[in-house]
Structure 1
């Protein structure tokens, strides 16, 4: 995949470009938002990483301009500011993810790969979704919004059902809190990730064999959750 990185710190450029190239991706580095927009005029990219604080044009303004121009690829913000207000601005500007500096390079790579997988699925030819998903002991009826475990019906709220369905559609794949919020609430609520923790707890209380030791819905710290198919 071809990834554009806009960051005026040379050390960050070297770290991220080396990380991506080791995974077989191509990374194009620029120093600010103005250069990022120019890069898009000359090439296409599969994902964009934007530092927030940059000379000439900051990351938020750059993302807004990219969205105005019709660019739909995933955008990940990097920033030394980690408060909820700045994150809200980032998501409102059209960003898909927000990571705070300093960050764990391995965690950044997991975020990148997750967004690339999802973007690839979005552009792949759509296949009719089966009305019934069967995962081990679970049967999920997407038409009736019903879930059974070993033949016993489980009563879920609409949001709990949507979260479970999102996880069940991609078993063993890590979904970020932002992705789950978007599926359950809509894109306009993506910045409110604290709510997903509450709903995951409620969902575990209803579907886990032992909610105090969850095995079906696994927490991937710092990223999100995944449904473990082998535990279903």
Structure 2
């Protein structure tokens, strides 16, 4: 997909930030639309259905978390959302990603880093669509079914409501059962860019995925942590091995 074919919605109430992001994204050929207000962002997103949304957490009357929550209920349910925030505390990151965000960049940030993240998310979305078309319709394990066409996951026949990024993460793990993925490799496979040493986004998504899929997230059946290394997907109903823990 050429950059010129992709549209980006930038939502930030700091004019200097908006102008800087617009400058760098337009240099790459993206069509950039901007607003500094949450309700206007919802209207524009509904009309444009952009390929990606850059969303500041701290807006005016309607903050970015509320905007994200509303976007996920409309026709932008699977559009990548990249949060911007001056807050770097883990709880803020967890909140943003738990409400449907795909990625998180703290201010001040490198414009080239933001462009790289945007490119990676758009590339990953197109790659996911192509791979899902080429793969078998479903992956099936005892008690679990992953449908690549409908983007649905069912546990014991019950539909599990996953975000687009949670679905991608599960697919990467489940396509190679019992393989242990190092954190950096798993981050690159799902986000299509380097973590630059910060894998908290990945760990939050794994935690959210466990909360939705596991009866007891503290004793996971499906997604296991291999201490000091990474994560693996286990299709069997065995317990954690001694080298694993759920964190």
TM range (shorter): 0.5 to 0.7
Structure 1 distance, partners of 2:36, 2:99, is: 20
**Maintained 8 Å contact 1:162/1:183:** no
Give the deviation of 1:179 after TM superposition: 7.7
| Alignment RMSD | 3.5
Structure 2 distance, partners of 1:160, 1:97, is: 23
Give the deviation of 1:196 after TM superposition: 9.3
Give the deviation of 1:174 after TM superposition: 2.8
2:114 is matched with 108
Structure 1 distance, partners of 2:96, 2:184, is: 27
1:199 is matched with 229
2:33 is matched with 28
- Structure 1 pair 80–169 and aligned structure 2 pair: CA distance change class (3 A): closer
1:160 is matched with 180
Structure 1 distance, partners of 2:53, 2:176, is: 39
The 5 Å alignment of 1:83-162 reads 83-124=89-130, 126-128=133-135, 158=178, 160-161=180-181
Kindly name which structure, 1 or 2, has the bigger radius of gyration based on alpha carbons.
Answer: 1
Aligned residue pairs total 171
TM-score by length of 2: 0.59
Q: 1:4 aligns with which of 4, 9, 15?
A: 9
Secondary structure of residue in 2 paired with 1:28: strand
Where structure 1 has 5 or more consecutive residues not aligned to the other structure, the ranges are 130-141, 146-157, 190-194, 204-232
Q: 1:39 aligns with which of 28, 44, 57?
A: 44
Structure 1 distance, partners of 2:188, 2:63, is: 38
Where structure 2 has 5 or more consecutive residues not aligned to the other structure, the ranges are 1-5, 137-173, 212-224, 233-247
TM-score by length of 1: 0.62
Structure 2 distance, partners of 1:5, 1:162, is: 32
Q: 2:67 aligns with which of 62, 83, 87?
A: 62
Give the deviation of 1:54 after TM superposition: 0.6
Secondary structure of residue in 1 paired with 2:69: helix
Structure 1 distance, partners of 2:20, 2:188, is: 35
